[in-house]
Structure 1
Amino acid sequence: MTRTPATTVTRVWWWRWRRNPLRRHSDVVEAWIVLVGWLLALLAGVVAGLAAARTSESAFAARLVRTHSVSAVVTDGAARRPSAGSGYDDGRVWATVRWTGPDGAVRTDRAKVVPGVPAGSRVTVWTNPAGRVVPAPVVGAAADLQAALTGALVAPTAGALVWGGVWLVRAKSRGKVNEPPVPCQVHSRRAASTSTSVAAERAPGSGSARSAWTGEPQSR
């Protein structure tokens, strides 16, 4: 038995953009849909990423305006090591601090300080307009880094959403191409009239009917 040699298939790149006898009009439409989809996804990703980064920068700047730093005094000695099992650990411990607000009122709250700080030591804390201690605002290089990371996360997400919509449009266009053709009503009517004529000719007692054996007209 003779074995048929293997056939090597060479993939042709950009075949939808090249003139060839096998290219259909639907292939050209699909190529344009993919091209426009990629451009829209890229544009949406860039715009969404930049918008998210600027929004983060604005949020950091607004928080910096709403908070201000004050010099406070530690009223009790801080622990020498952070408590175990406290979740996120930045190496600091909680201690009670006291400071004088802009209105002259003495306020106390708990703030994070370096372990082992003795009572009476001065530390810098950040407070909000309500006079409560809040985490220090993100500024400088840390703020720029977080804004850039936010934009880098939002950009591919927005691009993927746009590309998903383009993929649905592409799938819908392919479904229309693969739909079976609708039969022509003219052909159907012509076929029906032909069938009626044939049935009338073959009906018994018809003067125009012919014999199936001789082909001559039959007598009534």
Structure 2
Amino acid sequence: MARRLLWRWRRNPLRRRDDVVEAWIVLAMWTVIVVGGALVGTVVGRAVDRDFAAQRADRRPVRAVLLADVPRTTSTGNDVYRALAKVRWTAPDGSVRTGRTLLTPGPKAGATVTVWQDGTGALTTEPAGTGEARAGSVFFGASAALALAALVHGAAALPRRRLDRRRSERWAAEWELVGPRWDQKTG
């Protein structure tokens, strides 16, 4: 098996210079995919994890008063439908603010609901939990590694295609010389 995989590297009378060049291209491609993919995946995963951690540190739940009824859902399945509802809450600086946020249907005007605000007191979404953040970090890291692999594979395909075309042209030229001799009958 190893002999079959490494045939371009061994001395061989049928080995062409193009075969050696292609072997180096493939080796470089896989090195960049493995090493670069691991590096890019790790860097992106850590960056996404830091972003999720910053969101968890910045966002806080706050009690808000519902100013209008949350509209009823028109959904007919078990899926959770959320609608925009107007709420009033107190920001970290002590000022009273009003705004709209997504809530599940049901609460009536005057009810107390929990909403999320950032450090400036603006309404925002609930931050991802640690499990969701970890899954998101792994997903984005793996996606970045796969994107790099696709890019490197595509970039390596261009010179390999050029080598294949050159080999085909040389084979056609040699066949033009040898091919007519095959039509001769023996005996």
Q: TM-score range by the shorter chain?
A: 0.7 to 0.9
Alignment of 1:91 with 2:81, yes or no, is yes
TM-score by length of 1: 0.63
- 1:32/1:103 Cα in 2 relative to 1: closer, same or farther (>3 Å)? closer
Higher helix share: 2
Q: Which moved more, 1:99-108 or 1:171-180?
A: 171-180
Shift of 1:164: 3.1
Shift of 1:102: 2.5
Which amino acid in structure 2 is aligned with residue 164 of structure 1?
G
Q: What secondary structure does 2:107 align onto?
A: coil
Shift of 1:178: 9.0
Residues 36-86 of structure 1 deviation map (CA, whole Å, 9 limit, x = unaligned)? 2212122222211222211111111222233221111212222222589xx
Matching of residues 157-176 of structure 1 within 5 Å? 157-170=147-160
Quote the RMSD (CA, aligned, Å): 2.8
Which amino acid in structure 2 is aligned with residue 143 of structure 1?
A
Q: Distance in 1 between matches of 2:74 and 2:43?
A: 39
Alignment counterpart, residue 126 of structure 2, candidates 102, 126, 136: 136
Residue segments in structure 1 that go unaligned for 5+ positions in a row:
1-11, 181-220
Shift of 1:176: 8.2
Aligned length: 165
- 1:82/1:117 Cα in 2 relative to 1: closer, same or farther (>3 Å)? farther
Larger-gyration structure (1/2) = 1
Q: Percent identity?
A: 40
TM-score by length of 2: 0.72
Q: Which moved more, 1:73-82 or 1:109-118?
A: 73-82
Partner of 1:13: 4
Relative contact order: is structure 1 or structure 2 higher (C-alpha 8 Å, sep ≥ 6)? 2
Q: Distance in 2 between matches of 1:82 and 1:135?
A: 23
